[in-house]
Amino acid sequence: MQPNAVMLAVVLLGNLMLPFASSQNAGFVKSPLSETKLTGDTFELYCEVVGKPPPEIQWWYSEVNRADSFKQLWDGARKRRVAINTAYGTNGVSVLSMTRLTLEDSGTYECRASNDPNRNDLRQNPAITWIRAQATITVLQKPNINASEHIILPLDSPSKPVVLRCNLTTAHWPHTYSFWMKNGQEIPNTRTEQRATTHSITKPRADDSGMYMCVYTFDMAPNGNATIEVKARPEVISHKRSENKNEGENATLYCKSVGYPHPTWLWQKVDGAFYKDIDNTTGRFFITTRDNYTELNILNLDITTDPGLYQCNATNRVGNTTKETILRVRSHLAPLWPFLGVLAEIIILVVIIVVYEKRKKPDDFVDDDEPAGPMKTNSTNNHKDKNIRQRNPK
């Protein structure tokens, strides 16, 4: 065989083998985990795969004790309670979530992945072309808990003590203990083994409002809970009463509130009897809001348009509260005012001295060439000599 023919054969063989050398079979990086849930709850299953080219990901489901009858799951299935979000990049990532669980949602959920070019060929055996990872979801009947109605705190008048109540009436398993939570945090010293539990708020204020939850724990099942909303009109507890800045600088005004639900914030500038709404579309004004906190940033202050009275308004379903901040903007020359004042005083003093000196009478000036006392003249001496000569004839 000629050398050129050998080289050509090597090149052709390399081109044929290149796709196989650069490919990588699909493999799991993270697999879904089994969970036990209560009716009405939500679950999420996470699946991450790697391969070259990126593998396709699918979700399948099989009922309890029916492992041989898998059905593919689609986004929006089961009356739109199923959501599937998948993203492909270096790795393939997919999340299966399901809301408002029922007992019928129990079963085996399977994540399948494949980058085989013939993976969707019905003549191929799926067990060969697809890799699989399974998780078992067990849905149990939620225990029945009777809880207090939602409460609105009357902040305008002295509030009476508020008592929150929960009672575990029906459960398929013995409970171990219960406790209270507020806004996701356990309230200290509220654990009890009783089926009926209470939590008291002796002097309710706006910062006592929030999402309260009584939680019952079980040995063989997930925790059961009931939620009680304690609502209150927002109350602004922290804000800037005034802000002094120089023109060209940036100013930050803020307000912080207590009260539940979290308020909707509105910033306004007061111009006489008019209120001008402020938003993020004006170029120099930027508003940042996080739950019970809001912040207004004003860039490159203008001494002619920006000074004035600003209001933050917090509004929720119960009521609203408004607080005011005065913004003062000084001129660029403001830092020089003390120096200019001293300089002006010096100039005035010099002018006074000059004017005073110019207005003095000539007699007020003393000639240095003149003697300090009266001088004797020759006429006086001659007069004495005359008197002497007149006495001699005697």
**Contacting residues for 272 by C-beta, under 8 A, at least 6 apart:** none
Q: Which CATH class is domain 144-231?
A: mainly beta
53 or 340: which leads in pLDDT: 53
Q: Read off the pLDDT of each residue in 20-32 and give the average, rounded to a whole number.
A: 79
pLDDT at residue 375 in the model: 52
The answer to whether domain 22-140 and domain 144-231 are alike in fold is yes
Closest CA to 97 of 113, 112, 114, 109: 109
| pLDDT confidence band for 388 (50 / 70 / 90) | very low
Alpha carbon distance 93, 83 (integer Å): 14
| 8 Å CB contact between 45 and 135 | yes
pLDDT per residue as tens digits for the range 342-357: 878 888 888 888 887 7
Domain ranges of the chain: 22-140, 144-231, 235-330
Inform me whether the pLDDT recorded for 211 exceeds 80.
yes
Percent of the chain whose pLDDT exceeds 70: 81
User: Residue 117 — pLDDT band, cuts 50, 70, 90?
Assistant: confident
Question: What is the model's pLDDT at position 129?
Answer: 80
Q: How far apart are CA 141 and CA 39, in angstroms?
A: 5
* Dihedral sign for Cα atoms in the order 95, 100, 105, 106: positive
Phi, psi of 75 (to 5 degrees): -60, 130
pLDDT band, residue 364 (cuts 50/70/90): low
What is the CB neighbour count within 10 angstroms for residue 143? Answer: 22
CA atoms within 13 A on the CB side of 160: 3
For residue 312, the model assigns a pLDDT of 95
Which residue is it, tokens 């980058």? 115
Q: Does domain 22-140 have CATH number 2.60.40.10?
A: yes
Q: What is the separation of C-alpha 303 from the centre of its chain, rounded to a whole number of angstroms?
A: 30
Which tens digit of pLDDT belongs to each residue from 120-169? 776 666 667 889 999 999 999 999 999 999 999 987 777 789 999 999 99
- Structure-derived torsion over alpha carbons of residues 98, 223, 134, 88, reported in degrees to the nearest 10: 50
- The side-by-side arrangement of strands in the sheet containing 185-186 is 151-152, 224-231, 210-218, 175-182, 185-186
Strands 242-246, 235-239: pairing kind: unpaired
Residues, the chain, total? 394
The residues with which 307 forms a beta bridge, in sequence order, are none
**Residue recorded with tokens 């986004």:** 75
Q: What is the pLDDT of residues 275-299, one digit of tens each?
A: 999 988 878 999 999 999 999 999 9
193 pLDDT band, cuts 50/70/90, is: very high
Which pLDDT band holds residue 6 (cuts at 50, 70, 90)? very low
pLDDT band at 97 (very low <50, low <70, confident <90, very high): very high
Q: Considering only CA atoms, which of 187, 188, 179, 164 is closest in space to residue 215?
A: 179
- DSSP, collapsed to helix, strand or coil, labels residue 117 as coil
User: Is residue 317 scored above 60 in pLDDT?
Assistant: yes
Q: Which amino acid is at 201?
A: I
User: How far, in Å, are 49, 96, 213, 319 from residue 113 at the CA level?
Assistant: 7, 14, 41, 53
Confidence (pTM): 0.67
For the stretch 323-335, pLDDT in tens is 999 999 998 766 6
Which pLDDT value is given to residue 25?
86
Greatest C-alpha distance within the chain: 183
Instruction: Band the pLDDT of 382: cuts 50, 70, 90.
Output: low
ω into 261 cis (within 30 of 0):
yes
pLDDT at res. 71: 93
The DSSP bridge pattern shows strands 71-72 and 131-140 to be unpaired
Residue 212 burial class via C-beta count within 10 angstroms: exposed 0-12, middle 13-18, buried 19 and up: buried
How confident is the model over 165-193, as a mean pLDDT? 95
Assign 65 a pLDDT band (cuts: 50, 70, 90). Answer: confident
- Is residue 233 a contact partner of residue 259, using CB atoms and an 8 Å limit? yes
How far the first Cα of the chain sits from its last, in Å, is 183
Residues paired with 63 in a beta bridge:
107
- Tokens (6 digits) for 68: 């041989």
Which CATH architecture fits 235-330? Answer: Sandwich (2.60)
Per-residue pLDDT at 1: 47
- Is a pLDDT exceeding 80 seen at residue 112? yes
Cis peptide before 53 (omega within 30 of 0): yes
